[in-house]
Amino acid sequence: LELASGSGAVTPVSLTSDGQLVSLRFFKDDLPARAFLPIRIDRQRFSNLMLRGPDGSGELVLSEETEAAMKRGGTLGVAWLTEEPLSVSLAGSERGLRDLRVCGAQAATRHRERAAVELAARDRAEAEARAKVLNDAQLAAIQAQTAAAEAQRRQVEEAAERQRRAEAAAQERAYAE
């Protein structure tokens, strides 16, 4: 939406929905972390919860009462967003808000599905990494056992060779006497 002031200055705001809530998003410096701020629909005041986002943007979470008034109202007015009061026509807002909720619900569903797929992929990658670490550890243990067995075999062979040489030397000495 483009809210216009009496002097013609335009301030953009966005209506968003996750399928459950409808919010008015805007940017303004020095927003409190949360506050109840009023908007006017056909000059009737409706206070709604405003939450400051991490990027400094504001999100005015519209109550069901405010949303119902917007559907049947003619003009939306906001006095606190800029130095001058702002307003915009709400012509066609009933269908627009209904479509916004439907699209918001669809987008939220796709987002949740995408998040679930990403989580499953991350879990699968972590499981594969753990399996690889386990496999590498088992392989290292097998290689260490093989190396130990090979060293023991060499020691036994060397001891047997020394024994054979000692016996051969003893037999040669005995033959020479």
> pLDDT tens across 130-156, in order?
999 999 999 999 999 999 999 999 999
Q: Cα–Cα–Cα angle for 138, 141, 143, nearest 5°?
A: 110
In which band, very low, low, confident or very high, does the pLDDT at 51 lie, cut at 50, 70 and 90?
Answer: very high
DSSP letter string over 65-79? Answer: HHHHHHHH-SEEEES
Instruction: Give the model's pLDDT for residue 36.
Output: 92
* Minimum mean pLDDT range among 13-22, 99-108, 109-118, 147-156: 99-108
Lowest mean pLDDT among 41-45, 62-66, 72-76, 119-123: 72-76
Residue 132: per-residue pLDDT? 96
Question: Taking 70 as the threshold, does the pLDDT of residue 79 lie above it?
Answer: yes
pTM to 2 decimals? 0.57
Give the Cα-Cα-Cα angle 65, 54, 120 (nearest 5 degrees).
95
**The pLDDT of residue 104:** 82
Among 24-33, 92-101, 115-124, the range scoring the smallest mean pLDDT is: 92-101
- Of residues 109 and 65, more confidently modeled: 65
Is residue 44 a contact partner of residue 51, using CB atoms and an 8 Å limit?
A: no
Which of 31-35, 92-96, 151-155 has the weakest average pLDDT? Answer: 92-96
Per-residue pLDDT, averaged over 78-87, amounts to 88
Q: How confident is the model at residue 94 (pLDDT cuts 50, 70, 90)?
A: low
Task: Name, in order, each residue with C-beta under 8 angstroms of 81's C-beta and a sequence gap of 6 or more.
Answer: 3, 11, 13, 26, 28
pLDDT at 118 (0 to 100)? 96
C-alpha 65/C-alpha 60 separation (Å) is 14
Per the model's pLDDT, the better-predicted residue between 37 and 19 turns out to be 37
**Gap between the Cα atoms of 88 and 52, Å rounded:** 23
Q: Phi/psi of residue 30, each to 5°? A: 60, 45
CA distance 12 to 34: 21
